[in-house]
Amino acid sequence: MGSCGSCGSPLDIQTHIYCRACGAMNEAHVSEEGIICDVHTENRAVGFCVVCGKAVCDECLENQGNRILCGDPKHRVYLEEWRVLHTFDFEYEAAMLYANLEQHDIESEVFTKLNPDATESPVRPTIVEVRIPEKKFEEAKEIVKLLGLSGEEMEDEN
Ligand SMILES: [Zn+2]
Ligand SMILES: [Zn+2]
Ligand SMILES: [Zn+2]
C-alpha cells in the first residue's frame, strides 16, 4: 500500500495506475511512454478527470480543490452537486440502473473509466460509474437495494 502523492488518499503504488479520489497519475507505476492526453495527443497525461475519466494533460486540466477535472464545465457541477451512486464492472449493468432511475424520474449519467487497478484478476480494463444528483441519493439508494445489483455500493461520503 501507500498513499497518493497529490491528495494523500490510500493508494497501492505498486498496482494502481491513478488515484481514484483525486485523479492524479501514479507516476511510479506508469510506463516510460506514459498515457497520452485524450485531447492533446502530443502531450503526456498527468491524470484523469474524476468525473468522466478522460486523460488530461497540464494544458487542459482544471483543478477543483486538489481534484482533477477535464475542461467540460458540466463536470464541475457533477463533482460538486452530484455523486457516485454505484460502480459496476460492465456497461450493461449500469444501463439497467440508468433505465430504472429514469423510470423514477431520477437523472443520472454513466461514465466508463480506466480501471485504476490493472492487476486485478480477472482483469477488468474499465470500471463504470453511475452518478446522480446529491439530493436524490437516498431515494436512488433504495432503488439499488430493490434491484439487488452487484458491483460496488458507494458509502456515504459525509
Ligand atoms: Zn489522490
Ligand atoms: Zn470530465
Ligand atoms: Zn490535454
Domain with residue 137: its CATH number is 3.30.70.790
In a domain, 27, yes or no: no
- Residue 151's pLDDT is what? 65
- Residue 30's pLDDT is what? 75
Distance 35 CA to ligand 3 centre (A): 11
Residue 145 has pLDDT above 80, yes or no: yes
Q: Which residues neighbour 34 within 8 Å (Cβ) at sequence distance 6 or greater?
A: 25, 44, 45
Give the bridge partners for 114, in sequence order.
Answer: 126
Distance 67 CA to ligand 3 centre (A): 16
Q: Residue 133 is part of which domain span?
A: 73-149
Residue 24 has pLDDT above 80, yes or no: yes
pLDDT band at 31 (very low <50, low <70, confident <90, very high): confident
Does the global pTM surpass 0.85? yes
The closest ligand to the CA of 67 turns out to be 1
In a domain, 98, yes or no: yes
Residue 115 has pLDDT above 50, yes or no: yes
In a domain, 67, yes or no: no
In a domain, 110, yes or no: yes
The structural domain count of the chain equals 1
Distance 25 CA to ligand 1 centre (A): 8
In a domain, 59, yes or no: no
Mean per-residue pLDDT, 3-14: 91
Distance 118 CA to ligand 2 centre (A): 21
In a domain, 145, yes or no: yes
In a domain, 77, yes or no: yes
- Residue 13's pLDDT is what? 85
Which residues line ion ligand 1, judged by CB < 5 Å? 4, 6-7, 9, 19, 21-22, 24
In a domain, 95, yes or no: yes
Q: Which residues neighbour 154 within 8 Å (Cβ) at sequence distance 6 or greater?
A: 83, 84, 85, 86, 87
- Residue 20's pLDDT is what? 93
Residue 110 has pLDDT above 90, yes or no: yes
Each residue of 32-84: pLDDT tens digit?
A: 778 999 999 999 999 999 999 999 999 999 988 889 999 999 999 999 999 99
